Structure 1
């Protein structure tokens, strides 16, 4: 298998992108970039579009990384640099449960994969994102994956068992 040096991870909120990124980073010994921690400013303030694009152009210049997060409006800044793309495809209700669980776990404080001063919240926007993901965003991602050309590696991981198998397989190869 070709070496994975620049990996993009996508999926719904609550799908396990950040967890997979951390675990994959440990297996491959690669730095992990959580895009949420770069996007959000304190108190959930969004950067302007050009600032965010410029920040991503800078992030992708590193020779090695695992990057998790969607941000489809600026995917064109990251996609060409990735040698590997992973789509974490989880059931909607599981994603919703994980988002609610995360909200309870980090009540009143920021998650480790978020910027400081962004206390965990669960609002209507987050709920709608997860609920509409299968019909609104998933088809676009599947199309993009289908159109990805070699030498880009593409993995469509459907469910936790597929994620575990993927990590086990990589661990055996990396050992």
Structure 2
């Protein structure tokens, strides 16, 4: 396990798990949100994002936290392991609500409210985003031998980390 993706619905705990995984493995951690967003809540260009991401992908070791569906096939071509946090919608909504008002290293600003559009994205995730994600993971496992660990509960995250210690 040298090149790891951590993906799943917003609020599932991807960034928290990725940080703990970094602490256990010593692998460098990169957050896609930090590559894409600027502190003033604007974004870099798609070209700049792709260049920065490609530079990370070409490194020997990394953990990349985040979804960004457009770049998932590119990231799957480079990774050897994926942790897919496939949690119930309610758990994800609670996860986002819990982090409102708190500074995190994976975002360049502090969220002060739960944006309704973002809430709807999470509600729609199981039907709008998850099927494509699952199909891409199945393809990567079959074609490239990518190891996919699908986790369905927070307790499984701790078990996974414990098994690595």
Same fold (TM over 0.5): yes
8 Å Cα contact 1:36/1:113 also seen in 2: yes
1:87 matched to 2:84: yes
3-state DSSP of counterpart to 2:53? helix
C-alpha distance in structure 2 between counterparts of 1:31 and 1:168, whole Å: 19
2:116 aligned residue: 124
Partner of residue 23, structure 2: 26
In structure 2, the partner of 1:136 is: 128
Instruction: Name the SS of the counterpart of 1:70 in structure 2.
Output: coil
In the alignment, is the contact (CA less than 8 A) between 1:8 and 1:67 conserved in 2?
A: yes
- Structure 2 Cα separation of the partners of residues 17 and 32 of structure 1: 12
Q: Runs of at least 4 residues of structure 1 off by over 6 A?
A: none
Which whole-Å deviations, capped at 9, do the CAs of 1:42-81 have from their partners, x for residues lacking one?
2211222212111111111211111110001122332211
The aligned runs of 1:13-162 (5 Å cut-off) are 13-104=10-101, 106=102, 110-115=103-108, 118-121=109-112, 122-147=114-139, 148-149=141-142, 150-162=144-156
Task: Determine the C-alpha separation between the residues in 2 that align with 1:51 and 1:76.
Answer: 18
Any stretches of 5+ residues in structure 2 without a counterpart?
Answer: none
Question: Does the 8 Å contact 1:111/1:120 carry over to 2?
Answer: no
Q: How many residues align?
A: 162
Residues 86 and 150, structure 2, Cα contact 8 Å, conserved in 1: yes
Which stretch of the first structure deviates more once superposed, 48-57 or 5-14? Answer: 48-57
